[in-house]
Amino acid sequence: MATSLAGKTAIVTGAGSGINLAFARLLLRKQCNVVIADLALRPEAEEVVAAHSSLSRSPARAVFQRTDVRDWAQLECMFSTATKEFGGADIVCPGAGVYEPPFSSFWHPPGSSASRDFPDSNRYALLDINLTHPIRTTQLAIAHFLSKRRGPSPPPAHAMSHVVHISSIAGQTTPLLAPLYNASKHAISGYVRTLAPLDRNHGIRVTAVAPGVVDTALWRDNPEKLRLVREEAGDEWVSAEEVADVMGVLVGDGRNNEIEVVKPCGFDNGLEEKGLVRIEGGLILEVGKGRVRKVEQFNDPGPKGAGNSVGNMPLVDGEILEMLGSGKWGV
């Protein structure tokens, strides 16, 4: 059966821009309140918050909670804000993430000029943001959901709670450019699968999307990343809205608890057909341009299709290998 997001509340980290902002917009259109948790808001996100500042202006409200996701106390504050403003949260998306930025990159090791990971800090900021923050936020979400639950467990479908993560096609592939990012997304996919039993036992559904190359500021505002894309050679972008639409279905805005995906047609022949997949805990959906595919735990064929490749990746990998051979890199 279809469920409605109207009257529910979501916490979305990283919703000051990109995929998470697109998801926040979708939720608000569905009359779901949103706590936007981020360090800052891009102008387009400020407009969203202003347009949904009160029920007199919109059927749902958006509240901005300044949040550094590396700080666990600030993660707890997100839930306090959701409880104070809306009576609690039903949906949580720990979506904030970074893509191997110079300030925390395997190829800019701690102590190098570009890195802000100090040798005596014993940590990588990228892993704090991309991995530790989603894990801790999910812990807090599970405790929050169980503490406010009344009635049978598991609850009926319309009363389920949701955590939707953002993995990546980098959770299946291994480009040399981004070792820490790859590791974080492989870990998120495994983590989501691990929590699958919470669905049928406690009505807490933990799922993830695995987007391809998404047209957001994370790419457009970063020349080093943008040069990976060869649009003239056929590389294509996935829109943030395409990813947000799939996230919406995962958290209950679907029909009959199913989603249409592409599936292999026959064995190892490269052909595909469309079919339905049941939405359940542990599900990971790859989102390319105009296509959605279930990522299998075993014997998965890997990403394919438009929006899932960047033509200049081999060039950049070659530059890294050349740098290592020059004697100019070290820790």
In this prediction, residue 214 carries a pLDDT of 95
The average pLDDT across 190-199 equals: 98
Confidence label for 267 from pLDDT (cuts 50, 70 and 90): low
pLDDT value of position 156: 80
What is the pTM for the complete model shown? 0.94
Asked whether residue 53 carries a pLDDT value surpassing 70, the answer given is yes
Q: How many CB atoms lie within 10 A of CB 105?
A: 23
Whether the CB-CB separation of 252 and 5 falls below 8 Å is answered with yes
Q: What DSSP letter does each residue of 273-296 carry, written as one string?
A: EEEEEE--TT-EEEEETTEEEE--
Render pLDDT for 115-167 as a digit per residue (tens, 0 to 9).
999 999 999 999 999 999 999 999 999 999 999 887 777 788 778 999 999 99
- Mean local confidence (pLDDT), 188-202: 97
Give me the pLDDT at residue 266, please: 61
Two tokens at 295?
């990522």
Q: Are strands 272-278 and 258-264 parallel, antiparallel or unpaired?
A: antiparallel
Cα–Cα distance measured from residue 263 to residue 271, given in angstroms and rounded to the nearest whole number: 8
- Say if residues 193 and 124 touch (Cβ distance below 8 Å): no
pLDDT at position 16 is: 97
Percent of the chain with pLDDT over 90: 78
Local confidence band at 230 (pLDDT 50, 70, 90 cut-offs): confident
- DSSP H helices in 133-206: 133-147, 179-194, 197-202
Give the number of other CB atoms < 10 A from CB of residue 35.
29
Residues 6+ apart with CB under 8 A from 150: none
